[in-house]
Each structure stands twice: as structure tokens, then as C-alpha cells.
A and B are shown apart, each in its own frame.
Chain A
Amino acid sequence: MNVKKFSMHVDVDSFIPATEEEKAYMVQMRPSSTFFRDGMKRLLKNGVATASLVIIIVITLASLIIPAFWPYSYETMLGVQPGKAVDSSYNNLAPFEYGASEKARIEAGEKIFPHIFGTDNQGRDYFIRVVYGTRISLAVGFFASIIVLIIGMTVGSIAGYFGGAVDLIIMRIVDIIYSLPDMLMVILLAAVLKETLGSALEGTALEKIGSNIISLFIVFGVLYWVSMSRLIRGQILSLREQEYVLAARAAGAKGGRIIKKHLLPNSISVVIISTALQIPNAIFTESYLSFLGLGVNAPMPSLGSLASDALNGLSSYPYRLIIPAIVISLIVLSLNLFGDGLRDAFDPKLRT
């Protein structure tokens, strides 16, 4: 034990004013970091999440850019040319094979862009179909999640803000929708909307998107907002009671400042994370419905419908199934891993 501690002698050295050097040492070297920058730093340190993010960005950019310069389109049947008989040599080409008239042009010295993945049974370039299908699947996943976010946020904040009877009624409705078998209801609604929407949309701008995708959005909007609204309601209820909100109020902060500085930053991360985790779910559901023939309208491809179409020629052209299968698994896997990384980086409290 240090006996000196008990003596009343004071070490005078401890009371000499600090030199400039010492002062500089004590100054905080780091610039103050924001919540967002902190989270990004943690996220980028997470190798798996960063790799997933890179994969997602590459796939998204590819699906957006490639169709712009690719010489083939997803709906052109290469064997069908106006005024000529259908050239069936274009159907079911193996990867890097050419159709009859293309071969003739190659022999004449012309350069023909290869069909990297061959063509499908109607003579459509398969590579561009996969790229386009990826774009559709990503877009459906993204917009469906936004719809879920908007509806869930509105209903959840209404329930959390008003409380009392409004909250009780909304939450009972949420309970019931939550316990519905979602996939069965999705199939039922998609099957019915497919029949009823088609005629209703005719002539409007929405027709181009296709009745099936619209009905998919409706189904998502009707069924999947419940968990989001539960989450936001819970956030609002618990954040209102937090000590730091009380402290801010005691320090004289006004309502607007509390909302802007405390409530929003603290709840927005949870919202963004669950929206990010909703995207792979939506892609999953879309591909599932497309596989059952309830997804996108032909000739538009989606990854699910491509896989579904590939089933018929499975024994001869297994790669036509494997390619969309890999793409869809890669997208879902990396979105899930990235969502997990996002959660770990921005809200360590949520970690399970």
C-alpha cells in the first residue's frame, strides 16, 4: 500500500500551470463526429457488410446501365423479322452460338455481338432478359418497401401520437392482420387483382407497368405495413419517455428542437434498417408470385418468372435456371447481410 497517500504533504509540482505542449496534448485531436459519420465508420469496418454493399451497387448499376447500350432488347425475338418467315435457328441457342443469318454475316466479315447466355425458346437474348429481370426484381423490392414504409409510418405515428382509443383500435387491427397467413392472402389478392385490375387500368399511364406489378404493390401496401407501424409506434412511445428527452426539456429545449435533434435521429435509424431488411423480403415475394404465374406480365421478365420458364427445358438447358437462381440468391443474401451490418452499425441496441 502506498503510505504517501495518507500524508498531508502536497506535491507542489502538481500545481504548476501546464506548458503549451501539455495543453496541446490534452486538446481533443479528433474533430467531433456526427451520428451518421460514426455509423458509417462502423459499417465500413464490417467487411461482410461492405462486400455486400459493393455487390448490391454493382448489380444495381449493371441492371440500370447495361440495357442502355446492349444491342439486343429483352422482348425482341431475334428469329422474327418483318416480312420474313420465322427463323427458328435463333430459338434455344447455346451460349456464344449464333443464328443462321448471323452466321452468314460473320462469314461476310461482319462483327456480331455474341449471345453470352444464348437465347430462350422464343429466340430472345437471354443475357439481357436476366439483366432486365434483375432490374424489375430490384425495382419491385425497392418500391414495395417504400410503400410499406409510408403506410406503416403514417399509421404507426398516428397510433403512437394519439394513444388511447385510437391506438387501441389500430393496434387490434394490426394484431389481426399480423396473424393472417400472409403468403396465402398475398396469393389470393394477387390472383383476384390480376383479374379485376387489367380492365380498370386500360388506357391509363399505369397500364405500362402492368396490372400484376400494381397488384403486387397493393398487396404489399395492404398486408406488410403492420410490422413497420408496430415498430414506429413502439419507437415513438419509448423515445418520448427517455431521460435525454426529459433532460433536453429541463434544459429549456423547445418541442421542435427535441423532435429534430433527439426523436428523429434516434428513430430514423431503426426505420431505415427495417426498410432495408424489407427489400429482400419483397424481392422474395415477387419472385415467388412470378414463379406461380402471378407476377409480372409477359413478355416482361423477372428473376422469378425466368426461373419458372426455365423449369420446362430443365434437362436440356439447366443454365437457364441456374443463372437467375444465382442472381436472386446473391441479391437476397447480400441485402440481408448488408441490412444486418447496417443494424449493427447504427443501432447496437437492436442486435440479437
Chain B
Amino acid sequence: MNSKTMFYILKRILLAVLTVWVVITVTFFVMHAVPGGPFTSEKAISPAAQAALEAKYGLDKPLMQQYFTYLEDIVTKFDFGPSLKQRGRMVIDIITDGMKTSAKLGVIAAVIAAVSGIVLGAVAALRRNKLIDKIVMVITTAFVSMPSFIMGALLLALFAVSLHLLPANGAAKGGLVLPIITLSLYPMAYITRLTRSSMLDVLGQDYIRTAKAKGVSGTKIIFGHALKNSLIPVITYFGPMLAYIVTGSLVVERIFAVPGIGKAFVQSITNRDYPLIMGTTIVLAVLIVIMNLVSDILYKVVDPRINLE
């Protein structure tokens, strides 16, 4: 790793930290622009409780001071305050609870998408313009232009309601199968197309021809040279894929009633549970920013030829 790469990584980390700060700041001030502010509930509470709440969160203090307190609580203690609607529960507890299910859902979906996408893409590239290539391309084109909620609802209608093959409720046994499939289809289609085009690009390179001319066997060319190099662009997609899975899980968890963080987030929006909205937004945003950072740095480290400036 040369100094230029180090400089790039440092710059990238700085940008990520800045982005996280912007997310927290925007979230805080946007939420405080709501009439009444995030810590007021429309249900009338006793003046004593109101006073206690105000004292606890410093609502009587100037806005800037509240902001710094909020920022400090997040950075030092991961404290996002209490939930307004779920009495007695802290936002961070709700998030970690939801995360357990959502993380399982997301990780499995991501792994399925990556593995099947790479295999399908490689097969399509190696059998270019053959029937199998055309089938794969048509199907992936269809998947790429279908919103996740449509996909989820159609799968639900087909497998759970009409055929009764799988449970419609995400909390039931085997209930995560349909949400996982729903979430993995779009990234799978995207990775397939990405792998196919980059593999075609690599197969046209001089070093592949050289390897063929040397008499290297077909399998060795594919696995030793072509596949490895054509996976580099796929790495860049890992960040956006996580972003897709996070936003996708919001609707997918709603459709299948999965008790995850996405469902909590959507519920917090309809309930106007502002501290929960703020907390979830920030946690998910940080997750996405970190994943983008990692995939960008990995991309640079794996292929030093790439000039990202």
C-alpha cells in the first residue's frame, strides 16, 4: 500500500465521519422543526410529568444546547432517549431487539444474492448469446424494474395465499423464507448483470488469450484468472446492496409482518414516535455509510490500478 492509497483511505474515512455527523445533525434539526418538537406527545400528560420530561431532556434549554447533549449522548453512550409510544423502553433497546431479526434477514439475503448472482452472471457470460444467457438476461431485467414491495406482495399472494406453501407471517416458523427471497431477488439480478458484463470484459483481455495460447485448461482460466478479476466491480456494489436491503426491509417487513427494525421504523413513522424515528434513521444511516466506506476501500486495495480521484 503506497502513500497515495493511504491518503485516499484517510480522506474517505473523513468523509464518512462527516456524513454521519450531517445525518445526525439533519435528523435532529428536521425533527425539531415539527410543531411541538420530538419529545411532545399529543396525548395530554400531567404537568408534573411534562416538567419532569422537560427537565430530563433539557427541553427548556436553548436548541443548540439540546443538540450538543443529544450528540454527546449518542457518541458516548449510544443513548437515543426513550420511546414516546412504547412506554418505559429505550430507543436503543427497541433497535437492538429489531436488529436481531433484521440482521439475520439481511445477511442471508445478501449472501444468497451474492452467490447466486455471481454464478448466474458467470454462466451467462461464458455462454454468451446462447439460450441460457438470454433467459438470464430477460429474467434479471424484469427483476431489476420491479419495486421490492411489488415483488414481496406478489410472492406473498402466490406462495402464501394461493398455494399455501409458506407462512405469510414472518414471525411464524419458516416465515423468513419469503422475506429473504424478496429481498435477495433485486440484488441478485443486479449482481448477475454486473458479473456478466465485467466477465465479458475480462474474457476479452490479452492475458486470457495468452493463457489460452499457453494451453492452460479452461477451468483454470475461468477460476484462476477470469472470475477473480471480474469480481472486482462486484465489490463496489456491496455498499449500495446493503442500502437496498435496509430500505427494502422496511416494506418487506411490513408486508410479511416480520418483527424487525424495519417494521419498528415504519410503525414509528405512523405513530409519530419521534425519538424512535431519529434513532432508527441514525443507526441505519451509520450502517450504510460504514458499508459504503468498507466496499470503497476494499475496491481500492484489491485493484491498485483504479484511480478513484
Contact = CB atoms under 8 A, between A and B. Distances in A.
A239 interface: no
Interface residues of B toward A: which range? 35 or more
B161 A318 contact: yes
A344 B154 CA distance: 33
A131 to B, nearest CB: 18
Interface string B135-165: 0000001101111111001101100011000
Q: Secondary structure of the A side of the interface?
A: helix
Contacts of B265: 187
Contacts of A196: 33-35
A191 B35 contact: no
A325 B142 CA distance: 12
Interface residues of A, number: 43
B287 to A, nearest CB: 9
Q: Secondary structure of the B side of the interface?
A: helix
Contacts of B247: 181, 183-184, 288
A333 B149 contact: no
Contacts of A332: 145-147
A304 to B, nearest CB: 8
A38 interface: no
Contact of A311 (B146, B255, B272): B255
A185 B24 CA distance: 11
Contacts of A318: 157, 161-162
Contacts, number: 124
A191 B33 CA distance: 12
Contact of B251 (A176, A288, A314): A288
A180 B147 CA distance: 21
Interface in B191-208: 197
A33 interface: no
Given A181-B288, A191-B269, A191-B277, A291 B34 contact: no
Interface in A293-324: 293-294, 304, 307-308, 310-311, 314-315, 318, 321-322
Contacts of B181: none
Contacts of A288: 147-149, 247, 251
A187 to B, nearest CB: 7
25 contacts: A175-B15, A179-B292, A181-B246, A181-B284, A181-B285, A184-B246, A184-B284, A185-B23, A188-B281, A192-B33, A280-B145, A291-B147, A292-B269, A293-B266, A304-B147, A307-B150, A308-B149, A311-B153, A314-B153, A314-B157, A315-B161, A328-B147, A328-B150, A329-B146, A336-B145
Can you list the 8 inter-chain pairs with the closest CB atoms, starting with the nearest? A333-B145, A183-B247, A181-B288, A325-B150, A332-B145, A179-B19, A291-B149, A318-B157
